[in-house]
Chains A and B, each alone.
Chain A
Amino acid sequence: MSWVKQTFSSSIGRKFAMALSALFLMFFLLQHFAINFTSVFGDKTFNEISHFMGTNPLVQFALQPVLIFAVVYHFAMGFVLEAKNRGARSVKYAKNNGAANSTWFSRNMIYSGLVILAFLGLHFYDFWIPEINVKYIQGDMSGMHNGEFRYYEELVHKFQDPVRVGMYVLSFVLLAMHLLHGFQSAFQSVGANHSKYTPLIKKLGNIYAIAIPAGFIFIALFHHLTGH
């Protein structure tokens, strides 16, 4: 299988793998948003779906490892490629007018990515690590706290802190910038570019890149402002 190793260590293979992990992450983000959005309408549905996602073996032991691999690969390879790309031009231009030919978002994916990574650290500290602790270290798979599902209560509690909500909003603005380039870029990298459908991909990408982060921001602000 050396051809697999050879393919995925080439410039095109790596970009293909970056795109595949990105497509998976974008699909994940969509379902994460859909589930979170139910919290706006009350605790019942959100609690039930959260409990299902948190305890279903297929989600936990098949999809979650894929997600972790995709996240780690996307960040790690992002840094590897950035370092390699910077190294390909030792002497920089005295004057470079990047804005004349490309978007700011496309040229600064590393910075929007770094903010997203910092956000993930906070997100893991807030939710993922406590979840893993309660379920797999303490062994409490009930999802209950004081006789009720704890998920909605935890979500609302986290969004009461204005500093956290501020960081949350900033991170999602940067995520929107990342996606404004990333969505259509992923399709290009897997070889999907044609005058027939690429304009549609770009439009869908812009809608996705703005609507999903805006939706997450709305959820955070909703719980912060209403207090429930």
Chain B
Amino acid sequence: MSTHKNLNLTLKVWRQKDQKAKGNMETYQVSDISTDSSFLEMMDILNEQLINEGKEPVAFDHDCREGICGTCSLYINGEAHGPGREITTCQLHMREFNDGDTIYIEPWRANAFPVIKDLMVDRTAFDRIMAAGGFISVNTSGNTVDANAIPIEKANADKAMDAATCIGCGACVATCKNSSAMLFVSAKVSQFALLPQGQVESAERAQNMVKVMDEEGFGNCSNTGACEVECPKGISLENIARLNREYLSGSVKK
């Protein structure tokens, strides 16, 4: 890991004009990159360079740049969000790389996440899964009960909160050898299944969300655990076991 010297890097970047284009890896050189810059700042420098050369800049997703919005993606050197643990790409810094490195930068790969352009993918499949069951029924007519008025076991509240930290970035799908969305769906099911407010739809929620998940073309979970390791929020495989229980019990109840 370098700490002082600025970096000269070779970048292998996926370029794809639009959703229908074939796409290919392009090689770029960037030089004098500060080890204090973030990975996305390095991408910004590459894009300025490309614009100055009269070339099309690389399209990539980003928004908050502080690891909470779930917009950034990028498969860096064979890992979702790069080599760090429990960080998003925007929290990855160039000090993780060495001078002279070749860095592969690719979009999330899954048929359910089609490439829109270059490194941007369409993750609306997640939205459709959420629309199928990722909600609770609450009376909003002015008689809403304060959520804190309902006693909840501390352990369950903590687990629900942990599950709710999922930012829906899709790293689980990108890293899974089967392109399975099970960790995402399990986090969303768990954050409701663990709380009393989520019980109204509990018998149907997992059923409906898994149905859409399967229809969207995500693969099957084979418990490799890669998703848990690469997840920027450390969502546990315990949630997938809970999803399995919720789904199976729901199939008997309904």
Q: Which residues of A contact B (CB under 8 A)?
A: 3, 6-7, 10-16, 81, 84-85, 87-98, 100-103, 106-107, 109, 181, 184-185, 188-195, 198
Question: Contact at B244–A190, with CB atoms within 8 Å?
Answer: yes
Closest Cβ neighbor of A184 among chain B residues: B223
Please state if B112 and A88 are interface contacts (CB–CB under 8 Å).
yes
Whether A91 pairs with B109 at a CB distance below 8 angstroms is yes
Q: Is the CB of B213 within 8 A of A11?
A: yes
Bound complex: CA of A139 vs CA of B224, how far in Å? 47
> Is B248 positioned at the interface, with any CB of A under 8 Å from its CB?
yes
| CB of B221 closer than 8 Å to a CB of A | yes
CA distance A98 to B14 in the complex (A): 19
Q: Which residues of B contact A95 (CB under 8 A)?
A: 12, 77-78, 104, 106
Per the CB 8 Å criterion, the residue count for chain B at the interface is 49
A193 lies within 8 A of B237 (CB): yes
A94 to B240, alpha carbons, bound, how many Å?
29
Interface segment among B49-57, B91-99, B171-179: the answer is B171-179
| Chain A min CB distance to B198 (Å) | 18
Stretch at the interface among B2-10, B36-44, B127-135, B225-233: B225-233
Within 8 Å CB of B106, what residues of A?
93-95
The yes or no answer to B184 lying at the interface (CB within 8 A) is no
Q: A7-B248, A96-B78 are in contact. Are A88 and B218 (CB under 8 A)?
A: yes
Q: Does B164 contact A (CB under 8 A)?
A: no
A218 to B17, CA, bound (A): 60
Distance of A94 Cα from B75 Cα, bound (Å): 10
Residue in A89, A102, A185 whose CB lies within 8 Å of B111:
A89
Residues in A with CB closer than 8 Å to B230 are 101
For the complex, what is the distance from the CA of A165 to the CA of B1, rounded to whole Å? 49
Cβ of A106 and Cβ of B224 under 8 Å apart?
yes
* CB contact between A89 and one of B79, B179, B241, B242 (< 8 Å): that residue: B179
Residues of A within 8 A of B182 (CB): 11
Contacts A100-B229, A193-B237 given; does A7 touch B219 at CB 8 Å: no
Partner of A85, one of B75, B179, B213, B251: B179
Out of A16, A94, A181, A198, name the residue touching B244 (CB < 8 Å). Answer: A16
**Do residues A106 and B244 form an inter-chain contact, with CB atoms below 8 A?**
no
Residue of A whose beta carbon sits closest to that of B206: A12
Find out whether the CB atom of B78 lies under 8 angstroms from the CB atom of A15. Answer: no
Cβ-defined contact, B214 with A102, below 8 A: no
Give the nearest-CB partner of A90 in chain B.
B111
Knowing A3-B251, A106-B224, the reply to whether A85 touches B219 (Cβ < 8 A) is yes
- List which B144-185 residues lie within 8 A (CB) of chain A: 175, 177-180, 182
Flag whether B25 is at the interface (Cβ < 8 A).
yes
Q: Are B225 and A102 in contact (CB under 8 A)?
A: yes
| B243 CB within 8 Å of chain A | yes
The answer to whether A102 and B226 have CB atoms under 8 Å apart is yes
